[in-house]
Chain A
């Protein structure tokens, strides 16, 4: 009875109430920031006394904001490409391989996902100080790649596990080379996993703060680092504008994932 929605009686109302309240709790702060980014008050008063685009103008007129956004974008794109390529190769090895300690290896590849990021951040900071990679694009890319790769391996491996390998073997029997069979038969079949890997890798790098705080130099910083540094000084509505653009990007990417999944199902 407790797992049947229609027969739950007034408990149903309580459950719906809590769920709606929680959903509002999760959604409202995001909408609130979006609303405030168009508010005319410097002091982030809600409801705002008037509406304006001036925070966006201020944001887009400041070369430091633009530069940090461009840096973030460059890093995220490079990380996405590398993470998908590396994720593909690794997933093929992990899913198809029958070597010993395969499970242990898989666990090792996923550890960056579960360890406290601050430990990795501090460790890489020390290491990069010694080999001169701090404050460089390469340093950012390497550290974000370590964090993004687990998501990539997870998405692509699960797609590969769901793929019937005999189809690929059939292509080889029909005269395709093993590589050709992989590219023309297997890759299209697991493309949803590859897309998810790409989007999650992009978002992991694009949104990453903790490692980036340590990697950044006065001349090279990502957008989250710029937001972090600004927030430590004051709660300016310019951050609300920047946050709204970030939220918008997330919404678009999530919609893209949903569309891809839906397209694959039908």
Chain B
């Protein structure tokens, strides 16, 4: 009895911080939401990939054994790789410029980066559908400049998807790269210059290696995001270069084949999670959110 009153008194006079155990309870509503409407549905879908139409790994055998589906995997990796490469090529100089530009200049570029990032995805994709069509501005400009006679096929093919996806991914590579380059101590480069390095040598042997972790992390993120993209490839790509997300949608919506849809989804999920694991292992937890 006495002991109990002691604890009660202790609880009553304990500082506010002693109420910690209830903090976990605060996360329960969100945990419930995610458990019921995120973890459970994904788990059910993945289970269906090994139970429908018959139990076993038949769906995976079909997915990985058919040249049609393997072509989709290849396309997904080719497009994502191309988009990552072009984004990095354009993104690095821009991030570098942003890191050293006078503030007022840089903040305008940042505003445009963020605006483009948050502008409706369909509006941006639609813009490229119009710009790249046979009678579109880009073809007209090229003809007007006398560079080509016939309009180039720029849309419904690899060119179209690559342009449209690079357009969407650029902010996602520029922002993390900017963060990394800005953290590099200018004194290191000054030292390189004092030791007789030319500008080119400082760039290739000092700045690039120092920025490498950021470049790799940003590139990996753009690559992973590209792998799962659906809307832009579906609208700007042709039937010949279908990507994985579209294949999943097609299995489920047009073919109503949940087994194959689930199997394709699991493949996408595993590749995505594996690449994120690589990212976490080598580049820490720093990353940007994306849609």
Find A33's partner among B42, B123, B268, B272 (CB 8 Å cutoff): B123
Interface segment, one of B54-62, B65-73, B245-253: B245-253
Distance in Å from the Cβ of A99 to the closest Cβ of chain B?
Answer: 5
CA distance A113 to B262 in the complex (A): 20
Given known contacts A23-B109, A123-B41, A246-B120, is B137 in contact with A32 (CB within 8 Å)? yes
Cβ B120 vs Cβ A178 within 8 A? no
A contact residues around B98 at 8 Å (CB): 19
Assembly CA distance A114 to B222 (angstroms): 11
Q: Are A33 and B126 in contact (CB under 8 A)?
A: yes
In the complex, which residues of chain A have a beta carbon less than 8 angstroms from the beta carbon of B218?
A: none
Which residues between 229 and 266 of chain A lie within 8 Å of chain B, taking CB atoms? Answer: 231, 235, 239-240, 243-244, 246-247, 250-251, 253-254, 258
**Cα distance A78–B45 in the bound complex, in angstroms:** 27
A234 → B minimal CB distance (Å): 10
A2 interface residue per 8 A CB criterion = yes
A5 in complex: contacting residue of B102, B207, B276, B290, CB < 8 Å: B102
Q: How far is the CB of A146 from chain B (nearest CB, A)?
A: 5
Please state if B202 and A1 are interface contacts (CB–CB under 8 Å): yes
Binary flags per residue of B232-260, CB closer than 8 Å to A gives 1, else 0: 00010000000001001100110000100
> Which residues of A lie under 8 Å from residue B118 when comparing CB positions?
203, 207, 250, 253-254
B96 with A146: CB separation less than 8 A? no
The residues of B that contact A253 with a CB separation of less than 8 Å are: 118
Among B19, B135, B186, contact of A4 (Cβ-Cβ < 8 Å): B186
Say yes or no for B281: interface residue by CB 8 A criterion. Answer: no
Q: How far is the CA of A178 from the CA of B127 in the complex (A)?
A: 52
The answer to whether A2 and B207 touch (CB under 8 A), given A122-B261, A149-B33, A231-B129, is: yes
Q: Are B227 and A116 in touch, CB under 8 angstroms? A: yes
Establish whether residues B113 and A114, one from each chain, have CB atoms under 8 Å apart when the complex forms. no
Complex Cα–Cα for A30 and B199 (A): 37
Chain A residues, CB < 8 A from B262 = 122
Q: A23-B112, A178-B16 in contact; A122/B289 too (CB < 8 A)?
A: no
Residues of B within 8 A of A3 (CB): 99-100, 181, 184, 186, 189, 207
A97 to B108, CA, bound (A): 39
**Interchain nearest-CB distance for A150 vs B (Å):** 7
B24: interface (CB < 8 Å): yes
- Select one of B30, B40, B96, B224 contacting A149, CB under 8 A: B30
Q: Does A36 contact B (CB under 8 A)?
A: yes
- Identify whether the interface residues of A are mostly helix, strand, loop, or mixed: helix
> Chain B residues with Cβ under 8 A from A154's Cβ?
289
A120-B38, A209-B231 are contacts. A151–B289 as well, Cβ < 8 Å? yes
Interface residues on chain A, size class = 35 or more
A214 to B245, CA, bound (A): 13
Question: For A1, A123, A127, A178, which residue has the most chain B Cβ atoms within 10 angstroms?
Answer: A123
Q: A68 interface residue, CB < 8 Å from B?
A: no
Taking the closest CB of chain B, its distance from the CB of A71, in whole angstroms, is 16
Which of B90, B108, B203 is in CB contact (< 8 Å) with A22? B90
A10: min CB distance to chain B, Å: 10
Distance A26 CA – B227 CA, assembled complex (angstroms)? 22
- B residues near A243, Cβ cutoff 8 Å: 120, 122-123, 126-127
Among A9, A27, A44, A93, residue most surrounded by chain B Cβ atoms (within 10 Å) = A93
Known: A26-B170, A123-B265. 14 other contacts (CB 8 A): A1-B193, A27-B115, A32-B127, A89-B27, A93-B27, A105-B27, A112-B34, A117-B228, A119-B42, A122-B249, A149-B34, A169-B16, A231-B122, A254-B118
Question: What are 13 A-B contacts defined by CB distance under 8 Å?
Answer: A2-B189, A3-B181, A4-B186, A5-B102, A23-B108, A26-B171, A33-B126, A44-B130, A117-B291, A120-B41, A122-B45, A126-B48, A146-B38
Q: Residues of A at under 8 Å CB distance from B? A: 1-5, 8-9, 11, 14-16, 18-19, 22-23, 25-27, 29-30, 32-33, 36, 43-46, 86-87, 89-90, 92-94, 96-99, 105, 108-127, 142-143, 145-146, 149-151, 153-154, 169, 172, 178, 203-204, 207, 209-210, 213-214, 224, 227-228, 231, 235, 239-240, 243-244, 246-247, 250-251, 253-254, 258
